[in-house]
Chains A and B, each alone.
Chain A
Amino acid sequence: MSSGPEIRTFRVEMPDEAIADLRRRITAARLPSKELVADRSQGVQLATIQELARYWAAEYDWRACEARLNALPQFTTEIDGVEIHFIHVKSPHAGALPLIMTHGWPGSVIELLETVGPLTDPTADGGQAEDAFHLVLPSLPGYGFSSEPTELGWNVGRVAQAWAELMHRLGYTRYVAQGGDVGAAVTDRMGRQAPEGLLGIHMNLLVTVLAGPPPAESEQERAAADQLATFRESGFGYRLEQATRPQTIGYALLDSPVALAAWLLDHDTDSYYKISRAFVDGEPVGNLTRDHIVDNITLYWLTNTAVSSARIYWEDGQARAQALASGQAPRPVSLPVGFTTFPSEIWRTPRSWVENSYPNVTYFNEADKGGHFAAWEEPELFATEIRAAFRSLRQSH
């Protein structure tokens, strides 16, 4: 009998039939007429989705992704009633700092795979041994190989609590956390909850400004506020649908691979065009290659997680409404906070906004390139940022 909660090793093994069925469905897809515009202003362009579908059905090999995943130490463990899947790579360097890094929507652990090498084994990569991390990459509840919550209440705050439990269960008594997109929201909550052992956090999306209008005084602030307003006015549809009717859009996403691909591709303007270019022009930007994009979509397809992953927006809507009704301000983050602005992110967060949201900003930098999926698109640059952001926390201990 095991003494504590069990941590089981995990391997991905998709049945051949699931892959064959996927191919059949892609080939049989019914497509709409071409959009009436010459850009993405009506959504995912027909030429992009057609080329993606062709590549997916004819050339793409899921088994290569499976092998990549299975080459990493993967585990599952039950926390708070949900089976949590995670990748756990211990650094060869003994003094490495434990780091839990969380993906977002429409992503998965696939987004983070290319950062594993640079973060855990920096010396192989031009970094220094004292920059090493022990890396934990969990799949959010309802995402990838984590199980689907069957009860309500799995908002980002509850995920944050589960992550603290996960790190505790892995024996880490001093660690840091990082995230973008939904992962940033989880990481923000971890900062507010300040579980024992959490030394600091780093984010690459400023989720606090989604709650209300941030200051727009300086030129940088006004530019960022305009970007945020554009996102609300023209790119908010998927969010609102998932926040109010995750089940309704889900029927189509589970039944049609092309539907799923289009829904997942249409996140923000910058990443959409980068991804579109990878397919239509054969010119990927950074690490956003055709295979990496399709790996992520195929993971959603094979795990049937389009609905369960969307529900986190619904849960967050409920949590926000409750918080609003309670009239209580959220707990501040007193832990050290690092932030990196990637220039092509949906809004280009100025330092003043970060300082406005978090009283203890110990690191801020604007990277030279990269967008919403920074870890995925520019893994080396991203790893450099993470190292720099957490360096001061190592020195102080």
Chain B
Amino acid sequence: MSNETEIRPFRVDTPDEAIADLRRRIAATRWPEKEPVDDQSQGVQLATIQALARYWATEYDWRKCEARLNALPQFITEIDGLDIHFIHVRSEHEDALPLIVTHGWPGSIIEQLKIIDPLTNPTAHGGAASDAFHLVIPSLPGYGFSGKPTTTGWDPDRIARAWVELMGRLGYTQFVAQGGDWGAMVSDVMGTQAPPELLAIHLTWPFTVPPEIDQAVQTGSPLPSDLSADERRACEQLAFFYAHDLGYAQEMSHRPQTIYALEDSPVGLAAWLIDHDTRSYALIARVFDGQTEGLTRDDVLDNITLYWLTSTAVSSARIYWENNKYTFFAPKHVAIPVAVSAFPDEVFQTPRSWTERAYSNLIYYNKAGKGGHFAAWEQQQLFSEEVRAGFRSLR
């Protein structure tokens, strides 16, 4: 009989046939006509996705990603009836601070691979030994190698409780949490639950938009006349998001199961996953246009291939359906210490004023110089410095 709280080592081992089938399907793609616009305003452009598909079918090597994952200590443990997959890298520095970092959608643990060494081994990356973290990187329920819930109820609250249980099971009695996108939601909810073990959280997607401003932006009503320049810019970013970048989220909130498309068509899946927000799409499109700033083609395809091989497009989308309690931007009245890094190309760059109002115990705020929605993935050095700085006062 297996122990319920057992922690089992995990290795990725993809059958050859799954990879061959993927290649066959990419090669057999039926394509639409080119979009009738010269920009991304109708969605993923044909030239971009065709370049991605060509590289994916002919040059890309999943086995490299598999080897990279298998070089890390990976585990699975059952929490609240569900298998949770996680990477767990302990720092060599004894006093390292335990940190649980959570990815979002359309991401996975692939987003966080590049920050593992800078965070666990800071002295090799321009940091001090006192900046070290013991790092836990779980896969959200229904994502990657975590189990797919077979019942409803895995909302951010339940995930947050599972993460606290996970850290306890690993023997961490004091820890911090970090996240962007859904990972920020989970971390923020952990902040509201405020278990005594949780010292602080760090967010790259903070929940700071004053409700009256959010309402005005959504309805197109007049904004207060006394907004600062930063606040005005954030409002413009939010208005753009509501007008152009919300479709995928609404569909997944309303009808995650209807997107059968993503399970059956690799190119369909790739297009859906690279079209998150306008700026991250532009970054990814640049990558397939031969520029390597931020991400590489392999980075992007490692993540997409993980979704494909684990058949998790629908199960990952269900978190949008499950969450009927929190909005994307509203403050939740977190009272524990909070650190915020505002990246300029994030969906909105939170102004310090809103951030201070939303978090009564704001211990760190900084506008990062560069990076967007996938900050850990595209700007690993800068991101790692932000996380170190964000939590420094707690050590």
Query: B73: CB under 8 A from chain A?
Result: no
In this complex, how many residues of chain A approach chain B with their Cβ under 8 Å: the count is 55
Taking the closest CB of chain B, its distance from the CB of A255, in whole angstroms, is 4
- B315 contacts across to A, CB distance below 8 A: 32-33
Contact partner, A259, options B33, B252, B265, B321, Cβ 8 Å: B265
- A226 contacts across to B, CB distance below 8 A: none
Taking the closest CB of chain B, its distance from the CB of A325, in whole angstroms, is 11
- Bound CA–CA A30/B307 (angstroms): 13
CB–CB B313/A32 < 8 A: yes
Interface residues on B, range: 35 or more
CB–CB A252/B255 < 8 A: no
Nearest to B37 among chain A residues (CB) is A152
Nearest to A245 among chain B residues (CB) is B43
Query: B55: CB under 8 A from chain A?
Result: no
Query: B314: CB under 8 A from chain A?
Result: yes
Main secondary structure of the interface of A (DSSP, over half): helix
- The 0/1 profile, CB within 8 Å of A marked 1, for residues 27-42 of chain B is 0011111011100001
CB–CB B271/A237 < 8 A: no
Query: B329: CB under 8 A from chain A?
Result: no
CB–CB A245/B248 < 8 A: yes
- A250 contacts across to B, CB distance below 8 A: 32, 43, 271
The segment from A36-44, A67-75, A95-103, A158-166 found at the interface with B is: A36-44
Query: B104: CB under 8 A from chain A?
Result: no
CB–CB B42/A246 < 8 A: yes
CB–CB A304/B36 < 8 A: no
- Bound CA–CA A258/B261 (angstroms): 7
Nearest to B313 among chain A residues (CB) is A32
CB–CB A243/B32 < 8 A: no
- A46 contacts across to B, CB distance below 8 A: 257
User: Which interface residue of B42, B251, B260 has the most chain A CB atoms within 10 A?
Assistant: B260
User: Which interface residue of A234, A236, A249 has the most chain B CB atoms within 10 A?
Assistant: A249
Contact partner, B261, options A244, A246, A259, Cβ 8 Å: A259
The segment from A126-134, A286-294, A307-315, A362-370 found at the interface with B is: A307-315
Contact partner, A256, options B35, B253, B265, B275, Cβ 8 Å: B265
User: Which interface residue of B49, B314, B315 has the most chain A CB atoms within 10 A?
Assistant: B314
CB–CB A33/B265 < 8 A: no
CB–CB A42/B257 < 8 A: yes
Given contact pairs A251-B32, A304-B32, A314-B42, A262 touches B258 in the complex (Cβ within 8 A): yes
Query: A253: CB under 8 A from chain B?
Result: yes
Taking the closest CB of chain B, its distance from the CB of A121, in whole angstroms, is 39
CB–CB B248/A258 < 8 A: no
Taking the closest CB of chain B, its distance from the CB of A168, in whole angstroms, is 27
Query: B192: CB under 8 A from chain A?
Result: no
Nearest to A244 among chain B residues (CB) is B247
Query: A238: CB under 8 A from chain B?
Result: yes
CB–CB B254/A234 < 8 A: yes
Query: B148: CB under 8 A from chain A?
Result: yes
Query: B225: CB under 8 A from chain A?
Result: no
- The 0/1 profile, CB within 8 Å of B marked 1, for residues 221-251 of chain A is 0000000000000111110111111111111
Nearest to A247 among chain B residues (CB) is B43
Residues in B126-168 with C-beta less than 8 Å from chain A:
148-152
- A6 contacts across to B, CB distance below 8 A: none
Taking the closest CB of chain A, its distance from the CB of B369, in whole angstroms, is 30
Taking the closest CB of chain B, its distance from the CB of A153, in whole angstroms, is 9
Given contact pairs A42-B255, A42-B257, A241-B248, A252 touches B33 in the complex (Cβ within 8 A): no
- The 0/1 profile, CB within 8 Å of A marked 1, for residues 212-247 of chain B is 000000000000000000000000000000011111
- CB<8 Å pairs between A and B, sample of 20: A32-B260, A32-B311, A32-B315, A33-B311, A33-B315, A35-B257, A36-B149, A42-B321, A44-B258, A148-B33, A150-B36, A234-B254, A237-B247, A237-B250, A237-B255, A241-B251, A247-B45, A251-B272, A304-B30, A307-B32
